[in-house]
Amino acid sequence: MSEAEFSDWALKICLTGLILFLGFIVWKLGKESKAGKFGMFMLFFVLGFGVFGFIFKNVLIEFFVLNK
């Protein structure tokens, strides 16, 4: 396994763990602050939108930059 392959796998695994941990933090924050259904929805929507933006950026890089 080369260093590039290891870095690619480590990024995917560690980033997934970080996203799950951030989801837990947001859930606990919403629960402790008694945010309610709409508040929890907004907290997770904003977190999900950020994650979607990161994934979308990587997809764009894969399709438009690396496939030349």
Q: Look up residue 37 and give its DSSP letter.
A: H
H or E stretch including 3? helix 3-32
Nearest one of 50, 42, 41 to 22, comparing CA atoms: 50
pTM, entire model: 0.69
Query: What is the structure's pLDDT at 58?
Result: 83
Is the pLDDT at 39 greater than 80? The verdict is yes
pLDDT tens readout for residues 1-27: 888 889 889 988 998 899 899 999 999
Query: What is the structure's pLDDT at 37?
Result: 92
Domain map of the chain by residue range? 3-65
Contacts of 56-64 with CB under 8 Å at 24 or more apart are none
Is the pLDDT at 67 greater than 80? The verdict is no
pLDDT tens readout for residues 44-62: 999 889 889 988 988 888 8
The answer to whether residues 26 and 43 touch, using CB atoms and an 8 Å cutoff, is: yes
